[in-house]
Amino acid sequence: MKIVRVEAVPFAIPYAKPLRFASGEVHTADHVLVRVHTDDGLTGTAEAPPRPYTYGETQESIVAVIDKIFAPQLLGLTALEREAVHERLDRTVGNPTAKAAIDMALWDILGKAAGMPVSGLLGGYTDRMRVSHMVGFAPAEQMVAEAERIRDTYGITTFKVKVGRRPYTDDVAACRALREALGPEAELYIDGNRGWTASESARALREMADLGLTFAEELCPADDVLGRRWLVRQSPVPFIADESATRAAEVTRELLGGSATAISIKTARTGFTASQRVLHECEGLGVEVLMGNQIDGQIGTLCTVTFGAAHRSASRHAGELSNFLDMTDDLLAEPLTIEGGTLRIREGAGLGIDIDPDKLARYRQDR
């Protein structure tokens, strides 16, 4: 299981409908396919999504850091030496999605070598997760129409509503319209991607007190340290740290500092190894977690559901697993399907990622 090659293949697939949120917008899935090859002929696969507004990575930077730094460091190590792999990767700061994709590809190799599903190796709790759909910025009536379409087509009844626009009252009105249209049985929570100030966030939460929201995520910047703590103290629902808590140390800092009371776990940035650290930290502290979405394609979504379904506490809440629905195409030979509001893991050895070679040839950007 010696690593003999690490491939970073940039590809681009357009979105049919762009996703807009307070810190940015996504029109094209310009991701990087990461494949780790071993001397015994196994290949582990994952994808890294560049999110410059969250981590500073670009498609070019992911390819460069893998080709120039990570690949040469990893050659000769085996997939069983993940601690040594991470020690080497961590000599370079940042670059979370590049590191995470390598980590998940190594788990894929382990599963294939053992002839076992990665979900079972991680924890094997269940084989599916309920799906939460992210509703991006649009006029309120379009947001309602999208949520109704997603509910009617896929059976999804949990929605994360993007907020953080100005005036904040536009978002309050959109959330109210969603609650009125979807009824009390829908679960709604909000994500501000740091778009509001602490005081705008507090006013918005007060004005939405009757909407039965279940969580509030990153409404204002964690860097506004005292304002954020002041907000979190008065939040009527758990306050999720997402981009402010992207590794275990940041999770500690945000939780102990009173700047968050719940954590979003994204395999796109912490892979499986570091996601388990974050998950176990949260379990030990008695803090709720949600499986978040880094606007993943189908490969990333399969990684997220594999990890989420493997763990009891990670599968308790619906996972954000539906952003791929807005892409015009994907690389998986057998597309993911959401039915009855749930997404299942893949049975079989590894992660079950089978790339369609024709699609890869069509969408890759390096040839």
2 assigned to active site: no
Least separation in angstroms between residue 293's CB and ligand MUC is 6
Sequence-distant (≥ 6) Cβ neighbours of residue 228 within 8 angstroms: 198, 220, 221, 222, 259
Q: Is 112 a catalytic residue?
A: no
**From the candidates 30, 171, 200, 242, which is the catalytic residue?**
242
> Based on CB atoms, which residue is closest to ligand MUC, 79 or 325?
325
Q: How far apart are CA 351 and CA 360, in angstroms?
A: 18
- Contact pattern for ligand MUC over residues 49 through 78, marking x by CB under 6 A: --x--x------------------------
Q: Residue 30, interface with ligand MUC (CB under 6 A)?
A: no
Smaller CB separation from ligand MUC, 104 or 109: 104
In the complex, the smallest distance separating the C-beta of residue 195 from ligand MUC, rounded to whole angstroms, is 11
The residue within the footprint of ligand MUC, chosen from 7, 15, 18, 23 (CB under 6 A), is 23
Residue 242 known to be catalytic:
yes
Does the footprint of ligand MUC cover residue 243 (CB under 6 A)? yes
Identified catalytic residue from 47, 146, 243, 294: 294
Indicate which single residue of 187, 191, 254, 320 sits in contact with Mg ion (rule: CB under 5 A): 191
Any catalytic annotation for residue 73?
A: no
Nearest-approach distance from CB 313 to ligand MUC, in angstroms: 19
Q: Which of 242, 254, 320, 330 is the binder for Mg ion (CB under 5 A)?
A: 242
Does residue 354 carry a catalytic annotation?
no
Task: Output b/e per residue, 184-205; b: 16+ Cβ within 10 A.
Answer: eebbbbbbbbbbbbbebbbebb
In the complex, least distance from residue 48 CB atom to Mg ion, rounded to whole angstroms: 18
**Total length of the chain:** 367
To the query of whether residue 217 is one of the catalytic residues in this protein, the response is: yes
CB closer to Mg ion, 117 vs 297 = 297
Which one of 97-105, 146-154, 211-219, 225-233 is the stretch in contact with Mg ion (CB under 5 A)?
211-219
Which residues in 309-341 are b (16+ Cβ under 10 Å) and which e?
bbbebbbbbbbbbbbbbbbebbbbeeebebeeb
Scan for tokens 């502290």, then name that residue: 285
- Count of CB atoms situated within 10 Å of the CB of 127: 17
**Which residues lie across from 131 on neighbouring strands?**
319
- Using the rule CB under 6 A, which residue among 30, 191, 296, 330 binds ligand MUC? 191
Minimum distance of ligand MUC from residue 51's CB (angstroms): 5
Nearest to 221 by CA among 247, 260, 255, 251: 260
Q: Which of 3, 10, 11, 21 binds ligand MUC (CB under 6 A)?
A: 21
- Smallest gap from Cβ 8 to ligand MUC, in A, equals 21
Q: Is the peptide bond before 167 cis (omega within 30 degrees of 0)?
A: yes
Count the alpha carbons within 13 Å of 355 in the hemisphere toward its beta carbon.
21
Q: How crowded is residue 173: how many other Cβ atoms within 10 Å of its Cβ?
A: 14
Q: Is 325 in the site for ligand MUC (CB under 6 A)?
A: no
Annotate 299-344 with three-state secondary structure: HHHHHHHHHHHHCCCCCCCCEECCHHHHECCCCECCCCCCECCEEE
Q: Judged by CB, which is closer to ligand MUC: 279, or 290?
A: 290
Residue nearest to ligand MUC (CB): 54
Query: Facing residues of 327 across strands?
Result: 15
Identified binder of ligand MUC from the candidate list 175, 219, 295, 345, rule CB under 6 A? 295
Of the candidates 217, 218, 243, 320, the residue annotated as catalytic is 217
Binding positions for ligand MUC, rule: CB under 6 A:
21, 23, 51, 54, 191, 193, 242-243, 292-295
Return the active site residues.
Answer: 162, 191, 217, 242, 266, 294
